[in-house]
Amino acid sequence: MLSEFSEHISSSRLLHPDKFYLLAISGGIDSVCLAHLLKRCRFRFGLAHCNFQLRGEQSDGDELFVKALADVLGIKVLVKHFDTIALKKDSGMSTQMIARNLRYGWFEELLKEKVCEGILVAHHADDQVETVLLNLLRGTGIEGVYGMAERRQGIIRPFLPFQRRHIREFMEEEGLEWREDPTNAQSDYKRNFLRNQIIPLLQQFQPDATAQLLGSFGRIKDTGKAFFHFFEQWKSTTILQEGEYHTLPLERIIHLPGRSSLLYYWLRPYGINFHQVEEILRAMDDRSEPGKYFPGTGYVLNVDRDSLILGPEFIDEGDLEIMPTDIETCIQGLEYELLHITNPSKIDKNPQHAMLDRDMLDFPLKVRKWQEGDRFRPFGMRQFKKISDFLIDLKVPLVKKQEVKVLCSGEAIVWVIGYRIDDRFAVSVSTKRILYLKRK
């Protein structure tokens, strides 16, 4: 195994002979084997041992064994003690998860402090199979079969190509000692159940099951890389982006094969899960009730008449008052400048802005979210119209309707902000003073 290990490290360039590493070591067969191989290949490394104090004298025995091994190898050892049981009581998490978080938290500290160039962990091929099977049992997308990376954020796994039986054969042939954790023989946890019950059954049926599974996972991973390459191309040419809003025309997705995967990987960063994607697809196919929306994390997806519209979740920050003293200033929370004009050279007809007859306004003005039943007289019209009907006529999607605000003078709506001013407050030939709201 020594020659295969040395060749793997050389071809993969995982380790540099002049850099110093720390090996995360429990005292078990895998990490002890990796320590001996690293020493024989003359790499510069030390040991990092976590004592979780979960097994009393056995935990302390593991620590003493690791310290003795460090003396034999002539290297330094770092030991960290954790009161895992006390932390578990306060967290509500499983013991395994607590220990994992503590372990990797310490590794992160060591890397930040630049104690070493990387932390080596002894995960091997069998661990990789177990990890992928656990991912599949939890429910996963294509990335779930990627498994653990050989190198990620300072964590390095030099043993991933090697199976557990090869490690044991090497240790027994060399007459090397290690510590056995009796809890590994218990099948109380999912990983242990897979390791002790399921995988041995697979190997009885097919002796090379581990190698075959790893080969399959590798091919699926390569397929995944191809998918994400073409997915990024599809996304960049199909989804329209305007500010914080993203629009996907239904005709560009509704008949595509694999549409659920395309939607999932587009929407996942915004907190929308695969179960919601299935509901979105049903809403897309049944467009008898347009306007359904699906909440994510800080975002909302609206299934509109002819498109999917993703936008930020509206947060109502309450009403805003504008006083005469605010003129010639920028209105905080509205992103508008409030200007006073006499004798304008031309009228700004941009609906994003508003020019209003100053003498028709009663201060303080109020900015609020529009409400059902609100009415105003759109510029150019002589009759009142409900704002709800006005927004429907403009085909404003639900995700954008939620953030529409109005500017009020007393009880009268002066401006549906960003869409249309009220005709009663428009600038006319008799206007002497103009209040001009202009985007910053």
What tokens were used for 435?
A: 């209040």
CATH number, domain of 97, equals 3.40.50.620
CATH of residue 277's domain is 3.30.465
Q: How confident is the model at residue 407 (pLDDT cuts 50, 70, 90)?
A: very high
Min mean pLDDT across 117-131, 228-242, 340-354 is at 340-354
Q: How many CA atoms lie within 13 A of 257 on its CB side?
A: 1
Q: Band of the pLDDT at 26, cuts 50, 70, 90?
A: very high
For range 224-247, the mean pLDDT:
93
Q: Does 107 reside within a domain?
A: yes
**At residue 374, does pLDDT exceed 80?**
yes
Q: Residue 364 — very low, low, confident or very high, per pLDDT cuts 50/70/90?
A: very high
What is the rounded CA–CA span in Å between residue 408 and residue 263? 40
Number of H helices, E strands in the chain: 14, 22
Examine the domain organization and report whether 41 and 72 are in the same domain. Answer: yes
Do both 160 and 187 map to the same domain?
A: yes
Whole-angstrom Cα distance, residue 348 to residue 330?
18
Bond from prior residue into 182 cis (ω within 30 degrees of 0): no
45 closest CA partner among 11, 2, 1, 14: 14
Q: Are 108 and 101 in contact (CB under 8 A)?
A: no
In a domain, 9, yes or no: yes
pLDDT at 91 over 80: no
In the structure, what pLDDT confidence band is assigned to residue 287 with cuts at 50, 70 and 90?
A: confident
**Number of C-alpha atoms within 13 angstroms, CB side, residue 89?**
3
3-class secondary-structure state, position 295: strand
Q: Based on the domain organization, do 74 and 175 belong to the same domain?
A: yes
What is the per-residue pLDDT for 186? 76
Nearest to 320 by CA among 341, 339, 338: 338
Q: Is there a single domain that holds both residue 22 and residue 156?
A: yes
The two three-digit tokens of residue 37, written as one number: 């191989």
166 plus 279 within the same structural domain: no
Least confident of 120-129, 160-169, 392-401: 392-401
Return the exposure string of 198-225: e unless at least 16 CB atoms fall within 10 Å of the residue's CB, then b.
ebeebeeeeeebbeebbeebeeeeeebe
Residue 231: alpha-carbon gap to chain centroid: 18
More confident residue, 98 or 23: 23
For residue range 1-17, list pLDDT tens digits in order: 899 999 999 999 999 99
pLDDT band at 61 (very low <50, low <70, confident <90, very high): very high
Q: Point out which residues pair with 408 in neighbouring strands.
A: 366, 413
Buried b (16+ CB within 10 A) or exposed e, 228-242: eeebeeeeeeebeee
Of 258, 278, 312, the residue at which a domain comes to its end is 312
Domain of residue 367, residue span: 320-439
Say whether both 412 and 344 belong to one domain. Answer: yes
Q: Are residues 201 and 302 in the same domain?
A: no
Q: Is the pLDDT of residue 183 over 80?
A: no
Task: Tell me: do 332 and 299 sit in the same domain.
Answer: no
| pLDDT for residue 322 is more than 80 | yes
Beta strands in 296-364 (DSSP E): 299-303, 307-312, 320-322, 329-331, 336-341, 354-357
- Split at pLDDT 50, 70, 90, the class of 39 is very high
**What does pTM read for this prediction?**
0.72
In the chain, the number of structural domains is: 3
- Are residues 189 and 244 located together in one domain of the fold? no
Average pLDDT score, the chain = 90
CA separation for the pair 5, 159 (Å, rounded): 8
HSE value, Cβ hemisphere, 13 Å, CA-based, for 149: 6
Predicted local confidence at residue 397, as pLDDT: 85
pLDDT at 234 over 90: yes
Kindly state whether residues 248 and 168 are assigned to the same domain: no
**pLDDT given at position 403:** 85
Mean pLDDT (whole number) for 114-130: 94
pLDDT surpasses 80 at 333 = no
> Mean pLDDT, to the nearest integer, of 235-262?
93
In a domain, 307, yes or no: yes
Lowest mean pLDDT segment, chosen from 159-163, 204-208, 317-321, 357-361: 317-321
Q: What angle in degrees, to the nearest 10, is found between the helix axes of 259-267 and 274-285?
A: 120
Residue 226 in any domain: the answer is no
103 against 184, higher pLDDT: 103
